[in-house]
Structure 1
């Protein structure tokens, strides 16, 4: 039977599946519509965060899913939304798709595999080698699916995995799409 911390992690990561909606809205309705959608969402969650942090409002059914560090600070979904807005605004469509989905599925695989099977601890944050490998493989697949270029996918996956593994003070939900997307976009500009 799975531990409650593993089940909490599954539920916590489930919120990140909004990235699929971002990619679908972008694909079917375009950049302008998805940016309007994400801006409306950002305004809504900033109001919720204001009520939660400044007035002690408890979000029904989800309040217990906040990590300890998020209980009195801005939650990860705000940083994720900001990272997705940067990715869509600045990067080409396929790089944005890959960066956003790496943030969700790479991070999700690292957390779930790390919690469930992680034995070998690396870096200061207690991340597991098994989680890092899982993230890298998922990120590599995502990068290759959207960019059809193994070299760029490898570099983008490496950057996303390194950021997720080594950043402690900067939220990885913001850093992964910004750094991985930036590197991929830079390579595309330089090589074309």
Structure 2
């Protein structure tokens, strides 16, 4: 699961920003090489799809995978945001986005206009992110603002991958909240 990134950053590397940035940058570059080769080379794309197709969306056949966007977001968050903010932003992505999808698909009844996202999924995203942050002793106001940011990003119709929108918006808002609180 993508939780290994923020959990590894916090508990294994003890928020060692330089080491985590280096690891994530190397992995991201390797992923880009594989992605461009996959998109360029039809036979490799077919093999890649046979191996990983069951965990990929159909749109990812001719576009970057969500994992590539995840590693991009991880690199940027580690480079530009405080370690705890990065930890929460990446956990919000993993837990909040997953909760929104599961609840939205299984229990969602109120869809947003011109969207496949649901109010129920958004509520799940918010609750999971907020409760998670509180369980990890985040300042309640910063937890609230970060969870709202993650939820707004997840629900938005902006055509940027959720793996970029969620951590970026929640990290920006938590950082700003930390400055003014």
How high is the TM-score relative to the length of structure 2?
0.88
| CA RMSD, 1 decimal | 1.7
Is structure 2 residue 45 aligned with structure 1 residue 47? no
Q: How many residues align?
A: 175
> Does structure 2 retain, via aligned residues, the 8 Å contact 1:106–1:134?
yes
Q: What SS class does the counterpart of residue 134 from structure 2 fall into? A: helix
Deviation at 1:133, TM superposition (A): 0.9
Mapping 1:1-192, distance limit 5 Å: 17-29=1-13, 30-56=16-42, 57=44, 58-59=47-48, 60-146=50-136, 148-191=138-181
> Does structure 2 retain, via aligned residues, the 8 Å contact 1:99–1:181?
yes
Q: What SS class does the counterpart of residue 51 from structure 1 fall into? A: helix
> Does structure 2 retain, via aligned residues, the 8 Å contact 1:25–1:33?
no
How high is the TM-score relative to the length of structure 1?
0.83
For residues 81 and 128 of structure 2, the distance between their equivalents in structure 1, rounded to whole angstroms, comes to: 21
For residues 168 and 138 of structure 2, the distance between their equivalents in structure 1, rounded to whole angstroms, comes to: 20
Question: 1:116-168: per-residue Cα shift (whole Å, max 9, x none)?
Answer: 12122114221111111111111112232345221111111111111111134
Gaps of 5+ in 1: 1-16
> Does structure 1 retain, via aligned residues, the 8 Å contact 2:142–2:174?
yes
